[in-house]
Chain A
């Protein structure tokens, strides 16, 4: 398996523009996580899905952020409109959650470095 695949690796956009980040989890995994990493706030969990259903989106900073998982092999994180403070590295990770809620380790993608100017 190629691991978790994120695209694009780098994104530079102007303030106010819509940004869409993409993630393909590892085949067979049933949990997917979106994290944001900044120097100031560290690694923050934005949202996670289990079996394509959003379970906890309490980390999504505001309504400008939305995430979808239309099927088991694809997820998007959208920011509309984007702002300079959204500049960060966004990671997608996937794992296999067994019955009973026990996750094996999460496998991370290489991240998308977003710069909003």
Chain B
């Protein structure tokens, strides 16, 4: 069975500092990987996804993530944090069960951005 682990339930950075949110997955086959963001009182919004091809993927709002198969990781980064980045972030993997598939989410990481 596939699973996702997000290291650190809370991350705090200063405005302008590097953002690094960690995600590790387990999968017996090459996965599809996703990062979602959730702002307060809203649904989840896709930030970026990795399917095949280039292992460094760029998303919205200046975020990017790199798929590292050898490390089974898909960490999310942003060079310079902005106050508006404060939100909860979820890493997810697509399950390859038959013809259906389902998305398995990590527990989430709350990003706090300090002025």
Contact = CB atoms under 8 A, between A and B. Distances in A.
A91 B108 contact: no
Contacts of B104: 45
Interface residues of B, number: 26
Contacts of A97: 99-101
Interface stretch (B16-24, B42-50, B62-70, B71-79): B42-50
Interface string A69-103: 00000000000000000000001010101011111
Per DSSP, are chain A's interface residues mostly helix, strand or loop, or mixed? Answer: strand
Q: How large is the interface on A (under 10, 10 to 19, 20 to 34, 35 or more residues)?
A: 20 to 34
B102 A45 contact: yes
B98 A101 contact: yes
B99 A108 contact: no
B85 to A, nearest CB: 19
Given A43-B90, A45-B104, A110-B42, A99 B99 contact: yes
Given A31-B100, A43-B90, A105-B49, A111 B107 contact: no
Contacts of A105: 34, 46, 49
A55 interface: yes
A29 B5 CA distance: 28
Contact of A100 (B34, B99, B108): B99
Interface string A29-42: 00101010000001
A105 B99 CA distance: 15
A38 to B, nearest CB: 11
Given A31-B101, A42-B105, 13 more contacts: A4-B43, A43-B108, A50-B101, A55-B102, A93-B44, A95-B101, A99-B99, A101-B96, A101-B97, A101-B99, A101-B100, A102-B32, A105-B49
Interface of B: 32, 34, 36, 42-46, 49, 51, 90, 92, 94-105, 107-108
